[in-house]
Amino acid sequence: MTDVLTQPRPIRLKGRSFLALALTPELPFEDWLVRLDDLAARSAGFFLRRPVVLDVDGLDIEKAELRELVSQLNARNVRVMGIEGARSSLLGADMPPAMTDGRPAGDIEAPVAEERTEKAGKAKKTEKAEQPAESIVVPASPPPMQAVPSMVVARPIRSGQSIFFPEGDVTIIGSVASGAEIVAGGSIHVYGPLRGRAMAGTMGNASARIFCRKLEAELIAIDGFYKTADDMEPDLRGKPVQIWLEGEAIKAATLG
């Protein structure tokens, strides 16, 4: 009996996925860091307490250059939890670990009710599938429509709070305070003032939109393309607005 009581309990290991930002630096790193500093300066706390994956796939760099880049990011309070696309020779015991299981946004289809995507990924442009040149075969009886997943939050989102829903649309019945954040794989609807950050289409959905009753946002983004408060048109501030993406340009217009 004593032996049974004194045996150590086994350690439980669980698999779990989390949503992280994927930064894709460009050469030369000095110029890219200047642009990163500009983003951080215009959207205070953008990287605060946010896990980041560094994607260096395709970059012709040396180990010392990668180590210096990680050091520069750490100095800016950008927490690099892992590095993706790096050769094994570039990494060491003093570097973040290699990440090999990230799912590119371009490989993810439009979400449907039966499928749930991982809470990870990158905001990259999705490639349009080639349409067949021949005639399209129409089934005798059309399949039933599948509902797109959505989340409805019937309360205001306070400063410091975050809503993550990469599976589909997010609707906020209330306001989004400054310092709050909404991240959605689909579109974002805010039935109140939007003062925090809103990032739609984060799983590669370039057709996602952002709707709000009163635009006072710190940052808006669709499919990885963003605008900070300083970049937004002054005549749209405080008005009901819809925001969408055309190519690589974010467009906005008043509602009604």
Contact 18, 120 (CB under 8 A): yes
Residue showing tokens 């970059």? 59
Q: Write the pLDDT tens digit of every residue in 181-198.
A: 999 999 999 999 999 999
Please check whether residue 209 is in contact with residue 231, taking contact to mean a CB–CB distance below 8 angstroms.
Answer: no
Span 143-167, average pLDDT? 80
Amino acid at residue number 38: D
Strand ranges (DSSP E) for 47-185?
A: 51-55, 79-84, 98-99, 150-153, 162-165, 169-172, 181-184
- Model pTM score: 0.56
Mapped onto helix, strand or coil, the DSSP state of residue 47 is: coil
Question: Would residue 1 count as lying in a domain?
Answer: no
DSSP 94: T
Domain termination site, one of 46, 68, 102: 102
Domain that holds residue 228: 150-254
User: CA 221, CA 78: separation in Å to the nearest integer?
Assistant: 19
Token reading at 27:
């050469």
Residue 199: pLDDT band (50, 70, 90) is: very high
Q: Which amino acid, one-letter code, is at 155?
A: R
Note whether residue 5 is domain-resident: no
How many other C-beta atoms are found inside a 10 Å radius of the C-beta of residue 203? 30
* Number of domains comprising the chain: 2
Q: Do 177 and 86 belong to one domain?
A: no
Instruction: With respect to residue 143, please indicate whether it lies within any of the assigned structural domains.
Output: no
Residues 6+ apart with CB under 8 A from 134: none
CA distances for 102 relative to 97, 105, 199, angstroms: 13, 9, 20
What pLDDT does residue 12 have? 66
Give domain status of residue 133, yes or no.
Answer: no
pLDDT at 5: 53
Render pLDDT for 44-67 as a digit per residue (tens, 0 to 9). Answer: 667 766 788 899 988 999 999 999
Note whether 98 and 164 are same-domain residues.
Answer: no
| Domain closes at, from 85, 102, 119 | 102
Please, are residues 189 and 168 in contact by the beta-carbon 8 Å criterion?
no
Find out whether the peptide bond into 149 is cis, omega within 30 degrees of 0. no
Most confident of 118-127, 135-144, 214-223, 226-235: 214-223
Taking only Cα atoms into account, the Rg of the chain, rounded to an integer number of angstroms, comes to 21
pLDDT for position 117: 39
Q: Are the C-beta atoms of residues 233 and 240 closer than 8 Å to each other?
A: no
